[in-house]
Amino acid sequence: MLRVPWLMPENPTDMRTILTILALTALSSGTGFPADAKAGQAIFDKSCKSCHGADGTPNAAVAKMLKVDIRDLKSPEVQAKSDADLKSVITGGQGKMKPVSAVTGADADNLVAYVRTLKK
């Protein structure tokens, strides 16, 4: 049988090494699934809308009651933040905003994707 060394290594250990390297390269490339803004809207409606309003505009009554300034999610200031910064605010809180403990992992990514759709 004719063997092409770069196509089919003779030693099974070599093949395992090649496959492991390929798998690790694929995993580390960051080409995961894109965030889903539609799923993020459902999360927003459940976890954020009461304070940030249906369209990202702060709920004035809640802000007054809590004696806080709630940021407009459509504002250039908020939209200029990186996805990582927005995710950090969602999952870790900021100022008087508590972390949204129900939102983690892919849900946080989806929520950030939805917030991006609110841009003015």
Confidence tier at 23 by pLDDT (50, 70, 90):
low
Q: Is residue 17 a part of any domain in this protein?
A: no
Q: Does 4 reside within a domain?
A: no
Give the Cα separation of 119 and 81 in Å (integer). Answer: 12
Which residue has tokens 């709630």? 70
To the nearest whole number, what is the mean pLDDT of the chain?
85
Query: Rounded mean pLDDT of 37-57?
Result: 95
Establish if 1 belongs to a structural domain.
no
More reliable by pLDDT, 25 or 6: 25
Number of domains in the chain: 1
Residue 79 located in a structural domain:
yes
Structural domain of 101: 37-117
Q: What is the CATH number of the domain that holds 57?
A: 1.10.760.10
pLDDT one-digit tens code per residue, 65-113: 999 999 999 999 999 999 999 999 999 999 999 999 999 999 999 999 9
Phi and psi based region of residue 105 (left: phi greater than 0; alpha: psi -120 to 50; beta: remaining)? left
Residue 26 lies in a domain: no
